[in-house]
Structure 1
């Protein structure tokens, strides 16, 4: 009788463990259990954001959904959060993939597993119309003592500090809406972000702000963006990369993302994530 009870208890324990794994384990366990793939992103137009009907949109989300569909996965659940909460949220199990258009950086590679890159771009500035202080690169911010505003966790922070910009001159805010508000209120002299983000903010400023040309930025500020997964999901990342390889740069993809301004200049080229993690 004791042996039977012990076996029964062990069976219950294993069943509970299996249920727990299906609920919060690696991504392939979730999909095998029939659960949705949860994609996490912040409200970044046109990279990744929610449409009026709540559906995920933006060029990174569109690329992600297209590749997942080719892999046979169409049960998707969007989770929108602030930029600074993306990596913590991923590792806490609140979603399975970060689709927020995240640059592949060495510090991030220590905490997450990136896909192969899906785009490449540099930095750009949001400045008052006419750019009265002539701010086109981070050295200019340092030399003039200007105040820069950017999103918390954005790569622009490290790029500015590398150019000697003092941390007290860097205003960190939750995201694009707050960057625009700071610039419109005159609390910052320059806003920093990706060219697509900066252009979108400039276009929404009623002509009061403009975007600088990213070509004036140092070459080492150019970076590659990818999707982030937990390190436990290496098997899924390998499967995703295999499907991604045939999709990135294809006519199907270029047609789908053209409406967001994505063109051949944004294609990632030959750089691989392993190299990017070691050099950025």
Structure 2
């Protein structure tokens, strides 16, 4: 796979911009109608294992990248050019046409649906907390964090600044600070600058589960949270074709085969009845009742 990337999307240089323009007639692989031009797709990823990240050789990898390669490259015939960016930049960069697709397992919710379009649901997420080994504060979920802070415990909590976990923490009235990426959150806890980092459970296990002095709590489900590939709303033909191939992969079982290489199991595959439309509508009580196990 051909790749093009910078260490951070916010540091595009004039030379990089010029080279990108040379690669695609419209600068980002789109034609005049907002659809990808059939040759190149610009893909944005976020450095969070096991979803999408750059490996030690600087090559894109992860479950969502493997799905993108299978659908966009193998089945739709695109060349993929991949760039890593901070979480906060994913949707702004998409709407600004810096890239065509976000492949980062972004959770579908009404706020994001107001700015971007999503493919059909791909992976169900649970949450965990990264804490000091032994979990001295005894916090296992958000209710414990709230109770601890209300009791006067001086717990410093961090989460991705634009992640769903931050939204949940704010809704519950839990004091928390934002970090730009998953590695920063881990570094904060490891370095003693934070007591708790809230993130998807499978990511914390993959990135920090074996680190000395740290501990990942058991996974919990605060609300239904389901990730998918993210697109510009006007790219309707691209989205429809992607969804057709995604449905084929799910029906054949190939989707699970692809993501299982990165630690995902059948437990992370959404209910076949679940749709992006209902997740965008955001009736969270109805969604929780329908899809979350007691």
TM-score by length of 2: 0.80
Equivalent in 272, 277, 280 of residue 275 of structure 2: 272
Alignment partner, residue 54 of structure 2:
50
Q: Deviations over 1:138-175 (max 9, x none)?
A: 1211221222111121100111122221xxx2111111
Which whole-Å CA distance do the structure 1 matches of 2:275 and 2:203 have between them?
24
Does residue 227 (structure 1) correspond to residue 229 (structure 2)? The answer is yes
Alignment partner, residue 98 of structure 2:
94
1:225/1:77 Cα in 2 relative to 1: closer, same or farther (>3 Å)? same
Equivalent in 256, 259, 265 of residue 258 of structure 2: 256
SS at match of 2:35: helix
Q: Deviations over 1:64-83 (max 9, x none)?
A: 21122453224110111111
SS at match of 1:161: helix
1:27 deviates by 5.4
Which whole-Å CA distance do the structure 1 matches of 2:141 and 2:27 have between them?
48
Question: Superposition pairs for residues 138-177 of structure 1, below 5 Å?
Answer: 138-145=142-149, 146-165=155-174, 169-177=175-183
1:28 deviates by 3.2
Which whole-Å CA distance do the structure 2 matches of 1:107 and 1:257 have between them?
27
4+ residue runs over 3 A deviation: 19-29
User: Contact (CA 8 Å) 2:116, 2:233: kept in 1 or not?
Assistant: yes
> For the aligned residues, what is the CA RMSD?
1.9
1:199/1:23 Cα in 2 relative to 1: closer, same or farther (>3 Å)? closer
SS at match of 2:159: strand
1:50 deviates by 1.7
SS at match of 2:235: helix
Which whole-Å CA distance do the structure 1 matches of 2:88 and 2:141 have between them?
24
SS at match of 1:134: coil
Alignment partner, residue 191 of structure 1:
197
Which whole-Å CA distance do the structure 1 matches of 2:41 and 2:107 have between them?
22
Q: Which has the higher helix share?
A: 1
From the CA coordinates, give the structure whose radius of gyration is larger: 1
1:75/1:254 Cα in 2 relative to 1: closer, same or farther (>3 Å)? same
User: Contact (CA 8 Å) 1:27, 1:96: kept in 2 or not?
Assistant: no
Which whole-Å CA distance do the structure 2 matches of 1:152 and 1:249 have between them?
35
Which whole-Å CA distance do the structure 2 matches of 1:137 and 1:94 have between them?
37
SS at match of 1:38: strand
Give the total of aligned pairs: 252
Which whole-Å CA distance do the structure 2 matches of 1:252 and 1:232 have between them?
29
Alignment partner, residue 219 of structure 2:
214
User: Contact (CA 8 Å) 1:199, 1:210: kept in 2 or not?
Assistant: no
1:139/1:237 Cα in 2 relative to 1: closer, same or farther (>3 Å)? same
TM-score by length of 1: 0.84
Q: Deviations over 1:160-199 (max 9, x none)?
A: 122221xxx2111111111111101222111100011111
SS at match of 1:99: strand
Alignment partner, residue 11 of structure 1:
none
User: Contact (CA 8 Å) 2:156, 2:194: kept in 1 or not?
Assistant: yes
**Gap regions ≥5 residues in structure 1:** 1-18
